[in-house]
Amino acid sequence: MLSVVPRPVTVRVPAKVNLHLGVGLPRRDGYHELTTVFQALSLSDTISVVPADELSITVTGDSAREVPVDGTNLAWRAAELMARIAGREPAVAITIAKGIPVAGGMAGGSADAAGTLVALARMWHLEIGRDKMRDLAAELGSDVPFSLRGGTALGTGRGEKLTTVLSRGEYHWVLAVAKEGLSTPEVFRELDHLRENYSSADDTGTYTESPDELLQALASGDPRRVADLLHNDMQPAALSMRPALRRTLRAGVDAGALAGIISGSGPTCAFLCTDSDAAVTTAAELSGAGVCRAVRTATGPVAGARLIDGSL
Ligand code: C5P
């Protein structure tokens, strides 16, 4: 008898870098009020789903062994959420091919959740509008709505409320991937701790002002202007937890980048370069400097979670 092997539904989802990350004081619900500018990068995870007897996750690629394959994986929670919406069991096998650094401050886990939502909506033929998808994404995590949407966007609230940012041109990045990841909640806690010890006038809440100059620079499409305005309030906390990242940041600039910044909660360091040639030479030099586990190049902005042609 012929057995029919189900075709997987496959979705590609980008990494993100925060060009600006203003972090306010902790809210009553434990989250921090943010004002952030996200850019989606060409580094991506690929998520495939097929019907199965029960929910499972398999991870392949760089650092796959560090990714949980149980209910602590956001993709697992995305499958359970979508199954509830569909009124069915989450009986799917999810495969995640990691291209995004694990626990690297580049929304890898959020990407996998966004990809699972999109893949299951297609596999189960669910008619879910954009607004509903965005709400489901926000329920899963603060960065998941941006992983769905991609491009360049201003994020407020805990990062989940998005408005489009006008961005001209293509930006060329070099990413220094660290040997070990950092836990986002721990970096937020370290930031609170640093601020308790060194309280400043900024504690009145000016952290989350709109980054207007950066928005203008993005509209101009000049990477030099953008590089001068990269800012991350979480950087001191990530550097306090991983002092060696200072060396990595210096090495990237010495290797030819316009500027370097910790990506989100880190520890990935993101370096903005003038053009693709500069990114390639910076990446080559940084690789030889021995300050990180791996070096990648990427461009942005790119689209958010997208079905790959040929998926059902
Ligand atoms: O939203 P998400 O579940 O991805 O956030 C992970 C953790 O990061 C939260 O539990 C919280 O500790 C921290 N966080 C925060 N403020 C934000 C976003 C995340 O404190 N705006």
Verify whether ligand 1 is closer than 6 Å to residue 32 (CB atom): yes
Separation of CA 39 and ligand 1 centre (Å) = 19
User: Annotated catalytic, 143?
Assistant: yes
Work out the average pLDDT over 244-259.
Answer: 98
Rounded CA gap, 143 and 47, in Å? 17
DSSP result, 182-222: --HHHHHHHHHHHHHHT--GGGGTGGG---HHHHHHHHHT-
Give the C-alpha distances (Å, rounded to integers) separating 264 from 39, 105, 135, 182, 308.
Answer: 11, 5, 22, 10, 27
CB hemisphere CA count around 37 (13 angstroms): 24
Rounded CA gap, 290 and 32, in Å? 34
Q: What percent of the chain has pLDDT over 70?
A: 96
H-run or E-run covering 60: strand 56-61
Query: Which among 33, 77, 142, 195 is the best mutation to test ligand 1's pocket, defined by most ligand atoms within 8 Å of the CB?
Result: 142
Catalytic residue among 45, 112, 143, 233: 143
Q: What percent of the chain has pLDDT over 90?
A: 91
What is the per-residue pLDDT for 76?
Answer: 98
308: DSSP letter: P
Q: Has this prediction a pTM greater than 0.90?
A: yes
Domain ranges within the chain, ordered by starting residue: 9-166, 171-300
Please write the tens of the pLDDT for every residue from 154-179: 999 999 999 999 999 999 999 999 99
Rounded CA gap, 70 and 21, in Å? 30
Check: complex ipTM more than 0.85: yes
Please write the tens of the pLDDT for every residue from 34-43: 999 999 999 9
Q: According to the CATH classification, is domain 9-166 in 2.102.10.10?
A: no
Verify whether ligand 1 is closer than 6 Å to residue 188 (CB atom): yes
pLDDT at 1 over 80: no
Separation of CA 214 and ligand 1 centre (Å) = 24
What's the CATH number for 171-300? 3.30.70.890
Take atom 2 of ligand 1 and give the residue whose Cα is closest.
141
H-run or E-run covering 114: helix 108-123
Work out the average pLDDT over 126-155.
Answer: 97
What is the per-residue pLDDT for 62?
Answer: 81
Work out the average pLDDT over 296-309.
Answer: 96
Query: Which among 18, 32, 81, 136 is the best mutation to test ligand 1's pocket, defined by most ligand atoms within 8 Å of the CB?
Result: 32
Residue 206 pLDDT grade (very low, low, confident, very high; cuts 50, 70, 90): low
User: Annotated catalytic, 16?
Assistant: yes
Work out the average pLDDT over 13-18.
Answer: 98
pLDDT at 137 over 80: yes
Work out the average pLDDT over 2-30.
Answer: 92
Could you tell me which residues come within 8 angstroms of residue 262 by beta carbon, excluding any fewer than 6 positions away? 105, 232, 234, 235, 238, 239, 245, 249, 268, 269, 270
Work out the average pLDDT over 182-202.
Answer: 85
Could you tell me which residues come within 8 angstroms of residue 126 by beta carbon, excluding any fewer than 6 positions away? 82, 85, 86, 120
